[in-house]
Structure 1
Amino acid sequence: MASAQPGVHALKLQPPCVSHTLRNGSNFIKWDEDLSTVTPVTLHVDPHGFYLFWTDQNKDTELLDLTFVKDVRTGRSTKPPKEAKLRELLDVGNLVGRLENRMVTVVTASDLVNVGQLNFIASQEDEAKLWCEELFSLATNLLSHNLNRDHSLLKAYVKLTLQPNAEGKIPVKNIGRLFSSDRKRIENALESCKLPNGRVS
């Protein structure tokens, strides 16, 4: 038929859209079964949707590249802690809803073998559901997995700014870790910009 459409259609990809809730952050409890630890944290996602990061009460920040996230679960798909004492610490009376429905489990993998989980507890079921849905959407965005040069540089810059030192400045050693294969060029670039270049390693 002359009016038939071609078999291949252009797919319109949308860039990541980070909601105000994820950008502003929410209070969660991060728990670790192996270490039997419970830590209050504030979860955030940067405005570009590159990283999930959390800050504890000591202002220490950890981050996770969202392209390493393979799944985000809540409700029946999660595995509550087996240890009774840990479960008791998490299932406190002032939180609303069933423990499983307040859990957010982030499944990560850098390859097919090294699979891990991060476990968080929200204060309410609706909050856990919102974070679960939006994190999964960001993690599976095709544009995030296929960055152009400019966005790759922006992603590197965002990573550096998310982990400043106590003075709010970017440590030189963090730059070294980000570009570890090119230490000499890092030192030369920092020197040419009249920036500190010691302790790159």
Structure 2
Amino acid sequence: MAGAQPGVHALKLQPPAVSPTLRNGSNFIKWDEDLSTVTPVTLFVDPHGLYLYWTDQNKETELLDLTHVKDVRTGRSTKTAKEAKLRELLDVGNLVGRLENRMVTVVTASDIVNVNQIIFIASQEDEAKVWCEELFCLSSNLLSHNLNRDHSLLKATRSHDLFRFFFSFSIVRLFSSDRKRVETALENCRLPYGNLMCIQSMHSRLQFI
């Protein structure tokens, strides 16, 4: 058509924004499908939306790069326990709502063949829905998958800080029979030592950078 102007579609990409709910953490039950075991954990996302990590009652912590997450599911699309005994185990406590609607399945994959599912169960359906929606937004954020130089450095620094925090806890647990000497050695190496200092160190670094 004469005089027609070409269409221009501009989309301004937004950096990942992590809500206080994800930063402060929520209590979940982690279901290990292979071992048929359940573990109470506290689930967190770092303030920059780079990593998902969870800590159990023994302070054992696991870390997951959110760019490796391909999907986050809840409701009918989740994998549920078929055995009656296992369903009863997952439904323990003061839990509200259907089991399927309280499940958050995090799907990770390094390629189209090696797919892994990490399953968490929330205490309420609304909580599972919030985590599912926000984790999917963070993991599918285009800026997270195409980092510039500054954010690549930030991600490497964040990984290092989290590693130092988890490493200190692991060392103390490994040599728990002589905890005081271990904490002194960590202090001399300028690593976080003691539960309170480790927690303060991690949170101060996460908020500062």
Q: What is the Cα deviation at residue 84 of structure 1?
A: 2.8
Partners of 1:60 and 1:93 lie apart in 2 by 23
Greater share of residues in helix: 2
Cα offset, 1:135, TM superposition: 0.3
Tell me the SS of whatever aligns to 2:129: helix
Aligned-partner Cα distance in 2 for 1:84–1:169: 36
Query: Could you tell me how far 1:169 is from its partner in structure 2?
Result: 10
Q: Any conservation in 1 of the 2:28–2:41 contact (CA below 8 Å)?
A: yes
- Kept in 2, the 8 Å contact 1:61–1:162? The answer is no
Q: Which one-letter code corresponds to 1:127 in the other structure?
A: E
Which 4+ residue blocks in structure 1 deviate beyond 6 angstroms? none
Q: What SS does the corresponding residue of 2:107 show, helix, strand or coil?
A: strand
Contact 1:52 1:63 in 2 (8 A): yes
Q: How many residues were matched structurally?
A: 171
- The CA deviation at 1:159 is 1.4
SS across alignment from 1:126: helix
Alpha-carbon shift at residue 82 of structure 1 (Å): 2.6
Percent of residue pairs bearing the same amino acid type:
80
Q: 1:47 corresponds to which residue?
A: 47
1:160 to 2:160 alignment: yes
* SS of match in other structure, 1:120: strand
Alignment of 1:62-77 (within 5 A): 62-77=62-77
SS at match of 1:48: coil
Aligned position for 1:135: 135
Give structure 1 stretches of 5+ with no counterpart: 171-194, 197-201
In structure 1, the residue matched to 2:14 is 14
- 2:143 partner SS: coil
Cα offsets for 1:39-65 (capped at 9, x unmatched): 000000000000111011111110111
TM-score under structure 2 normalisation?
0.76
CA distance 1:115–1:165, shift in 2 (3 Å): closer
Q: Distance in 1 between matches of 2:131 and 2:47?
A: 15
Measured after TM superposition, the shift of residue 88 of structure 1 is: 1.2
Aligned-pair Cα RMSD in Å: 2.1
Give the Cα separation in 2 of the matches to 1:165 and 1:72.
Answer: 25
> Are 1:79 and 2:79 matched, yes or no?
yes
- Correspondence for 1:185: none
Residue-by-residue CA offset, 1:120-162 (whole Å, 9 max, x unaligned) = 0000000000000000000110000000111111111111222
* Cα distance, 1:93 vs structure 2: 4.8
The separation in 2 between residues aligned to 1:148 and 1:154, in whole angstroms, is 10
| Alignment check: 8 A CA contact 2:59 2:169 kept | no
Q: Which runs of 5+ in 2 are unaligned?
A: 172-188, 191-209
State the TM-score, normalized to the length of structure 1. Answer: 0.79
Using the TM superposition, give the Cα deviation of residue 86 of structure 1 relative to its aligned residue in structure 2, in angstroms: 2.1
Kept in 2: contact 1:26–1:44 (CA 8 A) = yes
Secondary structure of the 1:144 match is: helix
Aligned twin of 1:120: 120
